[in-house]
Amino acid sequence: MIPKMQKLLSKVRKLIGKEMTRILDDKAWANPDYTLGGFWGNMVNLSNPDEFRNIDFNKKQIVKVHGWQPERPQRGDTLLIEGKLSNMMFEFVDIEYCNNPPDMFFADIKILGQRMKEKTHD
């Protein structure tokens, strides 16, 4: 990374007081590593959906998920959660893999960003 860019990023991190892990471009939003939901043997679920509905991402950024995936997530992989009004992108930060069944995992995810959906007029 260019030294000037590193200095600028350091200043931005200090200003917002949060760790920035990556900048999400259109390609990242269009091609997440995983999406919430799915079907038997190929899904990711919120561990506590009620907690998620009421979460304040300004105060708490970690959300717990679990799932079953043929290719289990790795730290740094992204998870897209689609909502009615917006889409939210998360990053896997801590993952516990299970041995039985071998495709199951429990993970902590951290919010990376949110994009409001465009309103459609009927």
Task: List the domain range (segments joined by +) for residue 62.
Answer: 24-116
Q: Are 44 and 37 in contact (CB under 8 A)?
A: yes
Least confident piece of the model among 46-50, 55-59, 65-69: 55-59
Instruction: Please indicate, yes or no, whether the overall pTM of this predicted structure exceeds 0.85.
Output: no
- Let me know if residue 16 belongs to a domain: no
Average confidence score pLDDT of the chain: 84
Per-residue pLDDT for 16 more than 60? no
Which tokens is 109 given? 């995810």
Q: Are 79 and 89 in contact (CB under 8 A)?
A: yes
Please tell me the total count of domains within the chain: 1
- Let me know if residue 1 belongs to a domain: no
- Assign residue 68 the CATH number of its domain: 2.30.130
Under the banding of pLDDT at 50, 70 and 90, the label for residue 13 is low
- In the chain, the percentage of residues whose pLDDT exceeds 70 is 79
- Let me know if residue 5 belongs to a domain: no
Q: What is the DSSP letter of 101?
A: S
- Let me know if residue 14 belongs to a domain: no
- Let me know if residue 33 belongs to a domain: yes
What distance in Å separates the CA atoms of residue 45 and residue 55, rounded to the nearest whole number?
Answer: 16
- Let me know if residue 108 belongs to a domain: yes
27-45 average pLDDT score: 91
Q: What is the pLDDT of residue 17?
A: 47
Q: What is the DSSP letter of 6?
A: H
- Let me know if residue 12 belongs to a domain: no
